Structure 1
Amino acid sequence: MISPGPPTVWIDDSHAIVRRGMAACLQQADFVVRGESATLAPEPVLAGLDILLFEYAGPTLRRAVRLAEGNNTRLVATVRDVDEQAVREIVDAGVGAVLPHSTLTPDTLIATLRAVVAGAVALPGDMLTRLLLHVTQSSHLGPTRLNPRERSVLRLLADGMDTRGIAEDLRFSERTVKNVVHDVLTKLNCRTRAQAVAVATREGVI
Structure 2
Amino acid sequence: MDTQGPPSVWIDNSHAIVRRGMAACLQQAGFVVRGESVGLTPTPAMAGLDVLIFESEGSALRRAVRLVVGRRTRLVATLRAASEQHVREIVDAGVGAVLPHETLTPETLVTTLRAVVAGTVILPGDLLARLLVHVRQHSQLGPAELSSRERSVLRLLADGMDTRGIAEDLCFSERTVKNVVHDLLTKLNCRTRAQAVALATREGVI
Q: Under TM normalisation by the shorter chain, which class is it?
A: over 0.9
Distance 1:155 1:175 in 2: 18
TM-superposed CA distance for 1:164, in Å, is 2.7
Deviation at 1:97, TM superposition (A): 0.7
- TM-score normalised to the size of structure 2? 0.93
Q: Is the 8 A contact 1:8 1:49 kept in 2?
A: yes
Partner of 1:19: 19
Asked if the contact 1:121/1:158 (under 8 Å) is kept, the reply is: no
CA offset at residue 189 of structure 1? 1.9
Counterpart residue type for residue 149 of structure 1? R
Gaps of 5+ in 1: none
Q: CA deviation at 1:86?
A: 2.0
What is the rounded CA distance, in whole Å, between the counterparts of 1:203 and 1:51 in structure 2?
32
Counterpart for residue 121 of structure 1: 121
What is the CA deviation profile of residues 10-65 of structure 1, one whole-angstrom value per residue up to 9, with x for unaligned ones?
A: 10000011011001101111111111101100011212111111011130001001
Tell me which amino acid in the other structure corresponds to 2:200. Answer: A
Between the aligned partners of 1:180 and 1:58, the Cα distance in structure 2 is 35
User: Which contiguous aligned blocks of 4+ residues in structure 1 show a shift greater than 4 angstroms?
Assistant: none
Secondary structure of the corresponding residue to residue 119 of structure 1: coil
Number of aligned residue pairs: 204
Superposition deviation, residue 66 in structure 1: 0.9
Q: 1:130 matched to which residue of 2?
A: 130
Amino acid at match of 1:157: L
Q: Which residue of 1 aligns with 2:36?
A: 36
Which residue identity is paired with 1:68? V
Q: Which moved more, 1:178-187 or 1:9-18?
A: 178-187
Task: Quote the offset at 1:201 in angstroms.
Answer: 1.9
What do residues 172-201 of structure 1 show as CA deviations (whole Å, max 9, x unaligned)?
233322222122112222111111111212
Paired amino acid for 1:185: L
2:89 is aligned to 89
Residue 136 (structure 1) shift: 1.3
Distance in 1 separating the partners of 2:46 and 2:57: 19
Give the secondary structure class of the aligned counterpart of 2:11: strand
1:176 paired to 2:169: no
Listed as ranges, the matches of 1:158-173 within 5 Å are 158-173=158-173
CA distance in 1, matches of 2:67, 2:55: 15
User: Structure 1 residue 99: deviation in Å?
Assistant: 0.6
Native 8 Å contact 1:3 1:48 kept in 2: no
Percent identical:
76
TM-score by length of 1: 0.93
Per-residue CA deviations over 1:116-175 (Å, capped at 9, x if unaligned) read 11111211122111100111122xx23262211111111111122222322222222333
Amino acid in the other structure paired with 2:60:
T
Alignment equivalent of 1:143, drawn from 126, 138, 141: 141
Give the Å deviation of 1:3.
Answer: 3.1
The answer on whether the counterparts of 1:84 and 1:130 sit within 8 Å (CA) in structure 2 is yes
Distance 1:55 1:182 in 2: 29
Secondary structure class of the residue paired with 1:81: coil
SS in 2 for 1:190: coil
Residue-by-residue CA offset, 1:55-92 (whole Å, 9 max, x unaligned)? 11130001001111111111110111133122111111
Alpha-carbon distance in structure 2 between the residues aligned to 1:100 and 1:174: 32
Structure 1 residue 112: Cα displacement = 0.6
Which letter maps to 1:137?
Q
Q: Which moved more, 1:161-170 or 1:111-120?
A: 161-170
